[in-house]
Amino acid sequence: MRGSTSKLEQALKDLIEAYSELDTELTAKLEDDEEAYASSMLESLETSIESALEDQDMETKSFANLLSYFSDALEQLDPVAFDEEGESDEEEEEYEDDEDDTDYDEDEDEEEEEEK
């Protein structure tokens, strides 16, 4: 298993390096055009993924599962990275608490029962 882990670590380092290089190239080429940047990045990633899946004879569903594991592992390492931008933990808890609150008035139920 150690060999597989080392191989995976190297592949991740290569992926990060390649992504950083692509990011730098696209940023320099497209400057402040965020829409063009996003479109070009997506196109490059789609082409690369498609090529790699074909070369490895891998189904897209299997690759999606792999990405899901990566996402879960990254969230374990840094849960804050998965918080919505600008939303603190307190705001999140407050929002969840508000969802649980109901406008339930016990006095109204008692009045209804007395009228019966």
pLDDT tens, position by position, 4-63: 889 999 999 999 999 999 999 999 999 889 999 999 999 999 999 999 999 999 999 999
Domain holding 53, by residue range, is 2-101
- Report field, pTM of the whole predicted structure over 0.85: no
- Cβ contacts of 46 within 8 Å, gap of 6 or more: none
Does residue 107 fall inside a structural domain?
A: no
Count of domains for the chain: 1
Task: Using alpha carbons, list the distances in angstroms from residue 46 to 22, 29, 40.
Answer: 13, 19, 10
Angle of helix 34-56 relative to helix 2-30, nearest 10 degrees, comes to 150
SS3 99: helix
Structure-token match 């891998």, residue found: 58
